[in-house]
Amino acid sequence: IAGITQAPTSQILAAGRRMTLRCTQDMRHNAMYWYRQDLGLGLRLIHYSNTAGTTGKGEVPDGYSVSRANTDDFPLTLASAVPSQTSVYFCASSVEAGPGNTIYFGEGSWLTVV
């Protein structure tokens, strides 16, 4: 069972470049999420999608965009990367969007912007 697959696993990116982090889940979960993890700050929600075709902004959405064309895929795009976007990015999903649903996480994508 694959669960949530993220790609790339790690990437070094020049500032100003565009980058898309890919996320695919095979659990047919309706809701998907992108978090970033920074030392001393825990995890913060960037964007979420309650169901295919809808997206919403989390705590720290600036500089990021997402799309949800189908149930399985939820890519995160950095239009013009900046060093402050150096972080570990986690894609996640839950069966439904309502609170209390367990959120399942991918293995993470380590991104360094130089």
Partner 1 sequence: AQSVTQLDSQVPVFEEAPVELRCNYSSSVSVYLFWYVQYPNQGLQLLLKYLSGSTLVKGINGFEAEFNKSQTSFHLRKPSVHISDTAEYFCAVSGQTGANNLFFGTGTRLTVIP
Would you tell me which residues interact with partner 1 (CB under 8 A)? 4, 31, 40-45, 48, 50, 56, 58, 90, 92, 94, 96-108
In the complex with partner 1, the residue whose CB is nearer, 9 or 14, is 9
DSSP class of residue 99 equals T
Query: Tokens representing 2?
Result: 């694959």
In the complex with partner 1, the residue whose CB is nearer, 37 or 67, is 37
Query: Tokens representing 40?
Result: 């001393």
Distance between CA atoms of 54 and 48, rounded to whole angstroms?
9
In the complex with partner 1, the residue whose CB is nearer, 14 or 42, is 42
